[in-house]
């Protein structure tokens, strides 16, 4: 018996991985986070499977169901939105599984920031502009943030920021980031990315709050900030395809490629 923490992706059933789908199809018990995972994702569960929406359950209740399945020798598909490793709240579930010696595995899913970048039609890491992505959130009414993990600190890097769980706090985002990125820095807000009613809203740090207020967006949104999000094509090519630079998988004729055989 194994508990599978399955990443369902951002919401589009077509974005679930083949491995995830195969596990949902065979597990006799399925607990899915219905607040962010559409029923269509778990519709492939066995016809006689126990399928429950965990959105209305407490942590103790879901663990009780898992212990019951363990006693009966039944595999469990524990389906979470996005990728379980990012804000999936699986750490406390894993702690309980370990305490009860219940085996588990994590099946990755498409994270929201990757799905949003695809809908934007953009790369998030642009040569000489931004080569780092910071995945973060704001505390608001949820779990508090570590002291040094502030937007002000992350903003000093100039990296592309993917800010979760913060769409109601746009004024504070502006306050902390404008000193580092400037008022005209591109901002993109993705609302319910991967769902039929998704919205992709573009703006700047100076006007994005007005735009999302107009759309009445108050939850289920991801905010991206950074110069790499500009629609301009004014950037240098990466060195990846530079014919003059040797590559371990694509050597340049006449150039000796030195490899580190100690790695």
Q: Where are the domains of the chain?
A: 3-107, 112-229
Rg over alpha carbons for the chain, rounded to the nearest Å, is: 22
**Among 143, 17, 2, residue whose Cα is nearest residue 66:** 2
15-22: list long-range contacts, CB under 8 Å, 24+ apart. 15/110, 15/115, 15/194, 16/41, 16/109, 16/110, 17/107, 17/108, 17/109, 17/110, 19/107, 20/79, 20/107, 20/109
pLDDT of residue 251: 64
Q: Which residues of 220-235 are buried (b: 16+ CB within 10 A; e: fewer)?
A: bbbbbbbbbbbeeeee
pLDDT of residue 253: 58
- Residues 85-136 pLDDT 10s: 999 899 999 999 999 999 999 999 999 999 999 999 999 999 889 999 999 9
pLDDT of residue 239: 76
pLDDT of residue 127: 87
- Asked, colleague to colleague, whether 3-107 and 112-229 share their fold, the answer is no
Which architecture does CATH list for 112-229?
2-Layer Sandwich (3.30)
**Which residue shows structure tokens 């699986």?**
90
Pick out the chain residues at pLDDT < 70: 140-142, 250-263
Please calculate the CA angle 222-59-134 and round it to the nearest 5 degrees: 25
**Alpha carbons 187 and 203: distance in angstroms, whole number:** 5
Which architecture does CATH list for 3-107?
3-Layer(aba) Sandwich (3.40)
């Amino acid at each position: 018996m194994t508990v599978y923490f399955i990443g369902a992706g951002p919401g589009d059933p077509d974005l679930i991985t083949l491995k995830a789908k195969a596990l949902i199809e065979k597990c006799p018990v399925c607990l899915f986070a219905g607040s962010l995972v559409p029923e269509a994702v778990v519709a492939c569960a066995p016809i006689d499977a126990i399928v429950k929406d965990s959105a209305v359950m407490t942590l103790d209740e879901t663990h009780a169901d898992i212990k019951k399945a363990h006693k009966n020798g039944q595999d469990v598909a524990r389906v979470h939105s996005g990728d379980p490793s990012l804000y999936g709240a699986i750490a406390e579930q894993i702690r309980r599984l370990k305490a009860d010696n219940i085996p588990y595995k994590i099946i990755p899913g498409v994270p929201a920031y990757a799905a949003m970048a695809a809908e934007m039609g953009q790369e998030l890491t642009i040569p000489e502009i931004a080569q780092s992505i910071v995945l973060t959130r704001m505390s608001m009414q949820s779990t508090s943030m570590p002291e040094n993990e502030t937007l002000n600190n992350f903003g000093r890097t100039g990296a592309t920021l993917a800010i979760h769980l913060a769409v109601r706090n746009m004024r504070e985002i502006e306050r902390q980031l404008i000193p580092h990125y400037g008022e005209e820095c591109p901002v993109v807000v993705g609302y319910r990315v991967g769902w039929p009613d998704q919205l992709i809203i573009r703006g700047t740090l100076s006007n994005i709050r007005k735009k999302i207020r107009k759309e009445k967006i108050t939850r289920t949104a991801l905010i991206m900030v950074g110069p790499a999000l500009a629609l301009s094509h004014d950037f240098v090519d990466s060195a990846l395809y530079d014919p003059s630079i040797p590559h371990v998988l694509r050597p340049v004729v006449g150039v000796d490629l030195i490899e580190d055989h100690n790695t």
